Amino acid sequence: MTDCLPSEWEYGYVSLNKHGEELCGDHIEEIKKGDGSLTLVLADGLGSGVKANILSTLTSTMLSTMIDGGLSLKEAVSSLVRTLPIAKDRGNVAYSTFTVVHANSDFTLSLYNYDNPEPILLSMGKEVPLSWESIVLEGKKITSCTLSFRDFDTLLLMSDGVVYAGVGETLNFGWTRPEIVRYLEGVYAKSISSKSLSTILLDRCSNLYNGRPGDDASVLALRRRPRVQVSYLVGPATRKEDDAKVMKLFFMSEGKHLVSGGTSAHVVASYLHQKIETTLDYEDPSIPPISSIKGVDLVTEGVITLNKLVQLAQDYLGQNQAYFTWSYKQDGASLLAQALFEEASDILFYVGCAVNPAHQDPRLNITISTKIGLVSELTRSLQKMGKRIKVAYF
């Protein structure tokens, strides 16, 4: 790792099913390449349920596959709209609408939109109007544009279930695009990840629908962000004589330093010649309180907190509903989630394999394999979030 990490593309998305439907009529496809480029497709199938799901899945899969196979974005879109049928009994509307983005490693981006709501670009938290070009491909009108991104510029794609949120419930005609823009500008913060920004917007849609969405709704956010490194120590080294070596490696790394486990905290405090400041304040009754050591950004309890963190990570990869609690709470698991899910792009795990004497009571049902299993599950989830993970066992 270098002292100054380059920027990267970060994206995240969530969807709501139409009330009463088991399948979502929207589908999002993603392809990441080794050169740092990225292709994202958000397709919205006509209607809802199984039929719409099949149509949107086919549309997004065909587009992403053609682009991955070497076709240019324009050629892929042209090939798709040539074969995309029209529902004549529904006013000549397409069986599936779509928005496709190809983001390059130099942070330029090409965007094609076919009958989905106009995407929104935020720069410094404010909307920047897009310069659209209208083209006709195979007799169908497509809008396109090219962009160059700075750090924290954010592009939001959405299906029309977002724009029409509240129709028949809290609003007569849904909320307008200017209202959506004002809402995004109001909630935007650099610290909010793409996944969580998508979650916040879609949660607002769900509220407008009174929890009974009248249409499938999807939001996808894509942004350029600086990479941020975090180091996370879980457990002391197997051999006590290795403690100093592990501590040296741990504190040599850049960025925040997080520590979980009581024994780990004592090893760290001894190495830094600092005291452990403990508290009996239970922010969450189910999670042990945090401690503090000068020179360490966060000190938490071990297995119980780690188990809760794994649960939060699994939720984050799904609908991310727990975000509305851990994003502001100050218990150990919530603070770890804020650092690892939202802030970090690169995470170095330092995992000690020493047996904890406090866990030898058979009634606790906690072993070293419990901790290793939780770390493995957490790292898998973080990798699915797009984090760069390195794990060292001691």
Q: Which domains does the chain have, with CATH numbers?
A: 7-226 (3.60.40.10), 229-393 (3.40.50)
Length of the chain measured in residues: 394
Q: In the prediction, which pLDDT does 358 show?
A: 54
Categorize the per-residue pLDDT at 2 as very low, low, confident or very high, splitting at 50, 70 and 90. very low
Categorize the per-residue pLDDT at 1 as very low, low, confident or very high, splitting at 50, 70 and 90. very low
Q: Are strands 229-234 and 346-351 parallel, antiparallel or unpaired?
A: parallel
Residue with tokens 């001691």: 394
Q: In the prediction, which pLDDT does 370 show?
A: 82
Asked whether residue 4 carries a pLDDT value surpassing 70, the answer given is: no
Categorize the per-residue pLDDT at 86 as very low, low, confident or very high, splitting at 50, 70 and 90. low
Categorize the per-residue pLDDT at 171 as very low, low, confident or very high, splitting at 50, 70 and 90. low
**Rounded mean pLDDT, 297-306:** 95
- Say whether 255 sits in a helix, a strand or coil: coil
**Rounded mean pLDDT, 260-288:** 91
What distances in angstroms separate CA 20 from CA 151, 211, 253, 269, 289, one per listed residue?
A: 40, 11, 50, 55, 41
Please give the Cα distance from 394 to 353 (Å, whole number).
6
Asked whether residue 88 carries a pLDDT value surpassing 70, the answer given is: no
From the CB of residue 104, how many other CB atoms can be counted at a distance below 10 Å?
16
**Rounded mean pLDDT, 156-174:** 82
Asked whether residue 90 carries a pLDDT value surpassing 70, the answer given is: no
Q: In the prediction, which pLDDT does 388 show?
A: 96
Asked whether residue 306 carries a pLDDT value surpassing 50, the answer given is: yes
Q: In the prediction, which pLDDT does 361 show?
A: 47
Q: In the prediction, which pLDDT does 60 show?
A: 93
Structure tokens at 2: 């270098």
**Rounded mean pLDDT, 309-318:** 97
pTM above 0.75, yes or no: yes
Contact (Cβ atoms closer than 8 angstroms) between residue 77 and residue 99: no
Contact (Cβ atoms closer than 8 angstroms) between residue 189 and residue 166: no
Weakest mean pLDDT among 13-27, 162-176, 244-258? 162-176
Asked whether residue 93 carries a pLDDT value surpassing 80, the answer given is: no
- Say whether 261 sits in a helix, a strand or coil: coil
Please give the Cα distance from 198 to 386 (Å, whole number).
16
Q: In the prediction, which pLDDT does 170 show?
A: 63
Categorize the per-residue pLDDT at 367 as very low, low, confident or very high, splitting at 50, 70 and 90. low
Q: In the prediction, which pLDDT does 166 show?
A: 81
Phi, psi of 81 (to 5 degrees): -65, -20
- Most confident stretch, 168-172, 308-312, 356-360: 308-312
Q: In the prediction, which pLDDT does 353 show?
A: 83
At 351, which helix (H) or strand (E)?
A: strand 346-351
Q: What is the mean pLDDT of the chain?
A: 90
Asked whether residue 368 carries a pLDDT value surpassing 80, the answer given is: no
- Helical segments of 26-72, H only: 49-68
Q: Can you point out the beta strands (E) in 140-238?
A: 140-148, 154-158, 217-226, 229-234
Contact (Cβ atoms closer than 8 angstroms) between residue 232 and residue 272: no
**Rounded mean pLDDT, 162-190:** 86
From the CB of residue 70, how many other CB atoms can be counted at a distance below 10 Å?
8
Q: In the prediction, which pLDDT does 163 show?
A: 93
Categorize the per-residue pLDDT at 36 as very low, low, confident or very high, splitting at 50, 70 and 90. confident
Asked whether residue 308 carries a pLDDT value surpassing 70, the answer given is: yes
